[in-house]
Amino acid sequence: MPARAHILVVEDEPRLRDLLRLYLERDGHAVTVVGDGRAAIEAVDAADTAPIDLVVLDLMLPGLGGETVLEAIRASTDIPVLIASAKRSDTERIAGLRMGADDYLAKPFNPHELTARVAAILRRTNRAGAGSVAPGVLSLAAGRVTIDQVSRRFTLDATDGPVTGRLTPGEIGLLCALARDPGAVLSREQLLDAVTRRPDDVYDRVVDVHVANLRRKLGDDAADPWLVETIPQVGYRLVATRDEA
């Protein structure tokens, strides 16, 4: 069971907002609820005094839409975000993940499923890839990239000088799964287990999105990879070597 967390619920429909608060509080979490995008951004900006561990975000909000809220969150913080939206198409779900959401739940949904997904995200966030490689600093390709698995901050030795940034829980989970056995090919199904606990994920494509985001952040080229290689119709493997601690 993950440590109890402070969760921000951004939902404009009062009944659903109250229901989510009830279920999350039953799980022992502290819950703040807001009904529009501007209030959500204000709550995140105030996180220095009231730290937020996870945001449950509707997309169809009055005023500022959920996509704008997500962009604002990602511009300033890596707080995990679970989108809970009536936008149901694969295209909309993948777009949400590409924007930086950690998970996506389509309405209508069972509140128990939402609380289960919240728990899974918090586990991944707190464990930072535990079970794949030992927590600490993950160094790949003779120090070309180093990643602090706790903060998820990375430093990349790029041609134009060092590049720094931060990975999402899903991205670090996937990379740590690959780093457990460099060179071994892992299927999308195996990698999916590192980034989500959903059995209904039509979304082998969720893995593809995380790999694409990793490549973008770490300067990898799918056509000539130094980090992650695509194995057609199978999955992925880590091309880079894992440096000894």
Q: Identify the pLDDT of residue 42.
A: 87
| CATH number, domain with residue 65 | 3.40.50.2300
> Looking at 127, 160, 186, which one is the last position of a domain?
127
Instruction: Look at 170 and 141; give whichever has higher pLDDT.
Output: 141
Q: Identify the pLDDT of residue 88.
A: 79
Does the structure show a pLDDT above 60 at 244?
Answer: yes
pLDDT by residue (tens digit) across 109-143? 899 999 988 988 887 766 333 334 455 788 899 88
Q: What is the dihedral of CA 125, 130, 132, 137, to 10 degrees?
A: 80
Whether the CB-CB separation of 68 and 20 falls below 8 Å is answered with no
The answer for residues whose C-beta is within 8 angstroms of residue 48's C-beta and 6 or more apart is none
My answer on whether 108 and 90 are in the same domain is yes
My answer on whether 204 and 93 are in the same domain is no
Q: What is the dihedral of CA 47, 53, 57, 63, to 10 degrees?
A: 0
pTM of the model: 0.61
My answer on whether 59 and 169 are in the same domain is no
Does the structure show a pLDDT above 70 at 196?
Answer: no
Q: What is the mean pLDDT of residues 185-200?
A: 70
The number of helices, as runs of H, and strands, as runs of E, in the chain is 8, 12
Residue 243 lies in a domain: no
Q: DSSP class of residue 243?
A: P
pLDDT by residue (tens digit) across 211-223? 888 999 999 999 9
3-class state of residue 67 by DSSP: helix
Domain that residue 203 falls in? 137-238
Q: Identify the pLDDT of residue 224.
A: 94
In Å, what is the CA distance from 146 to each residue of 108, 186, 188?
41, 22, 24
My answer on whether 39 and 112 are in the same domain is yes
- What six digits make up the tokens of 80? 């995990």
My answer on whether 165 and 186 are in the same domain is yes
CA atoms lying within 13 Å on the CB side of residue 113: 14
Q: DSSP class of residue 46?
A: T
Q: Specify the DSSP element, H or E, that contains 166.
A: strand 161-166
Q: Identify the pLDDT of residue 47.
A: 64
The residue type at 126: N
- What six digits make up the tokens of 197? 């606990």
Average pLDDT, the chain: 83
Q: Identify the pLDDT of residue 220.
A: 93
My answer on whether 65 and 174 are in the same domain is no
Does the structure show a pLDDT above 50 at 104?
Answer: yes
Q: What is the band of 195 on the pLDDT scale with cuts at 50, 70, 90? A: low
Tally the domains of the chain. 2
Per mean pLDDT, which range of 44-48, 127-131, 143-147, 224-228 is the poorest?
Answer: 127-131
Most confident of 1-5, 90-94, 195-199, 221-225: 221-225
Q: Identify the pLDDT of residue 199.
A: 45
Q: What is the band of 49 on the pLDDT scale with cuts at 50, 70, 90? A: low
In Å, what is the CA distance from 121 to each residue of 23, 50, 155, 234?
16, 20, 24, 26
Q: Identify the pLDDT of residue 17.
A: 93
| % of the chain exceeding 70 in pLDDT | 87
Q: Identify the pLDDT of residue 71.
A: 87
3-class state of residue 134 by DSSP: coil
